[in-house]
């Protein structure tokens, strides 16, 4: 249940801002002061990865789209993971559907790091 609450908080943080994302600042932390952990489902592999949400990044260089709620059980989802062509090492963008162009990276979206950890699992990390 706690993981679901953390995921909801991260998703709200990622898509809730109508202002352009600013690079820098510390990575998000949970109510206990720990780095925020999330689960990401990689569709091309059919695997779940544990991840730690990192800091915001400037809108420069390659990014891969991360889709909140599109994975099994409402997890975060993406097309590619470690070892797949198209995986950019945990540099993500989340589309802001309320501003800018939906489905395309623009200054209203959120850009951040969030590395995928471990080998991946057929079941979500506990």
| Chain segment 105-114, per-residue pLDDT in tens | 999 999 999 9
Query: For position 26, what pLDDT does the model report?
Result: 67
**pLDDT computed for residue 28 by the predictor:** 81
Q: Where are the domains of the chain?
A: 2-121
Give the pLDDT score at 16.
41
Work out the angle at residue 37's Cα, subtended by the Cα atoms of residues 18 and 62, and round it to the nearest 5 degrees: 55
Task: Return the number of other C-beta atoms located less than 10 Å from residue 111's C-beta.
Answer: 22
Q: Is 90 exceeded by the pLDDT of residue 2?
A: no
Q: CA nearest 63: which of 44, 39, 79, 52?
A: 79
């Amino acid at each position: 249940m706690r993981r679901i609450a953390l995921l909801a908080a991260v998703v709200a943080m990622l898509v809730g801002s109508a202002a352009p994302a600013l690079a820098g600042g510390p990575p998000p932390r949970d109510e206990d002061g720990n780095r925020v952990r999330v689960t990401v489902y990689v569709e091309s592999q059919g695997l779940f990865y544990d991840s730690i949400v990192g800091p915001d990044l400037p809108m420069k260089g390659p990014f891969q789209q991360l889709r909140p709620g599109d994975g099994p059980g409402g997890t975060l989802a993406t097309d590619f993971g470690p070892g797949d062509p198209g995986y950019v090492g945990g540099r993500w963008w989340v589309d802001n559907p309320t501003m800018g162009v939906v489905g395309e990276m623009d200054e209203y979206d959120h850009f951040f790091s969030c590395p995928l950890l471990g080998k991946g699992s057929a079941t979500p990390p506990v």
